[in-house]
Amino acid sequence: MLQFILKRLGLAILVALTVSFISFSLLFLAGDPAAALAGETASGEDIEAIRVLYGFDRPMLVQYGEWLWSAVRGNFGESYYFKLPVSSLIAERLSVTMMLGVCGITFALLMAVPLGVLAAMRPNSIIDRIALFLSVAGQALPSFWFGLILIVVFAIQLRWLPVSGAATWAHFVMPTIVLGYYAMPAIMRLTRAGMLEVLSSDYIRTARAKGASELRVMFRHALRNAIIPVVSLAAVQMGFMLGGSIVVESIFALHGAGYLAWESIARNDLPTVQALILIFSMFYIVFNFLADVLNAWLDPRMRSS
């Protein structure tokens, strides 16, 4: 198990270094950063002075090394637009996005996994058809439209929930439903397909022949094996929720890291965009690493892969 963890950890570090270099390269792929900072009316001398001031005249690899070393220590430079340290901006906003992401994936798993199991236990039944309908509807509904419908119904007409903000738990109810419902279809279909495949296996028939109860067969034998791909998918979905929550945060005025990313892109605030891309990518890498470790614990056969 330790060898498996070390191998996966090494791959995660290599991916992280690759992502960090791509993230840093965005500064130059977007054009001349010195000219962008100087503005359209700046003279050539002004642009050159800014280039020297920010170190853009040095070799790219030297700049990347210094930026990476600073990023490891939590220093991402200063925001071009907010004129504040990028690390403090992100630290202030990230807690909202983390809360929203955790609530969203929890809602998705609590809804999708039981529905997928019930649908597999009763294929072609009314429960299976309801699960299929929810799956199709979840893919067809755009997040922004679904969010607006919830606001109209639960905030404006019924007045049960607040429209915007992040002051109390009630402010996260509708954003959680919108974000989690988008992840439900894939998790539910994968759970159903995995359960159907496992339930037709020989060891399930053997467990039933030995007199094991249906609950024991379902949760001790079947679900433990069927849940393995779901764990990997949930890790990917969690990373997506953290990095792709910009639409939900914009609709419900949750000023989290996703909304900060939109603000930074709109205002050409490249240091903040670089840092957010790197941080969101690290979340993807960490969640996938943890999912691999958990899957290896659930299925010892994966440790030799």
Interval 221-243: pLDDT, tens = 677 777 777 877 887 788 777 76
Structure confidence at residue 36 (pLDDT): 65
For residues 270 and 143, membership in a common domain is answered with yes
pLDDT in tens, 19-71: 888 878 776 666 666 776 666 667 777 777 877 777 777 777 888 888 888 88
- Whether 231 is covered by a domain: the verdict is yes
Range of the domain at 28: 2-72
Provide the CATH number for the domain around residue 253: 1.10.3720.10
pLDDT in tens, 149-177: 899 999 888 888 888 777 788 888 999 99
- Whether 79 is covered by a domain: the verdict is no
Structure confidence at residue 301 (pLDDT): 64
For residues 137 and 249, membership in a common domain is answered with yes
- Whether 78 is covered by a domain: the verdict is no
For residues 40 and 109, membership in a common domain is answered with no
CA distance 304 to 1: 9
Residue that is last in its domain, among 15, 39, 72: 72
CA distance 242 to 292: 19
Q: How far, in whole angstroms, is CA 31 from its chain's centroid?
A: 29
Structure confidence at residue 302 (pLDDT): 63
Over range 13-24, report the average pLDDT: 84
pTM of the predicted protein model: 0.76
Number of separate domains in the chain: 2
- Whether 183 is covered by a domain: the verdict is yes
For residues 141 and 241, membership in a common domain is answered with yes
For residues 48 and 98, membership in a common domain is answered with no
For residues 151 and 238, membership in a common domain is answered with yes
- Whether 136 is covered by a domain: the verdict is yes
Over range 179-199, report the average pLDDT: 84
- Whether 243 is covered by a domain: the verdict is yes
Residue that is last in its domain, among 20, 48, 72: 72
For residues 15 and 145, membership in a common domain is answered with no
Cα 23 to Cα 45, 85, 128, 273, 281, distances in angstroms:
29, 18, 44, 9, 9
For residues 29 and 93, membership in a common domain is answered with no
Over range 281-289, report the average pLDDT: 82
- Whether 19 is covered by a domain: the verdict is yes
pLDDT at residue 305 tops 60 = no
pLDDT in tens, 93-145: 888 888 888 888 889 889 888 888 888 888 888 888 888 888 777 777 788 88
For residues 30 and 91, membership in a common domain is answered with no
Structure confidence at residue 32 (pLDDT): 67
Percentage of the chain lying above the pLDDT 70 cut: 89
CA distance 4 to 9: 8
For residues 156 and 248, membership in a common domain is answered with yes
85 backbone dihedrals φ, ψ, rounded to 5°: -60, 130
For residues 34 and 110, membership in a common domain is answered with no
- Whether 234 is covered by a domain: the verdict is yes
Q: What is the mean pLDDT of the chain?
A: 80
For residues 91 and 176, membership in a common domain is answered with yes
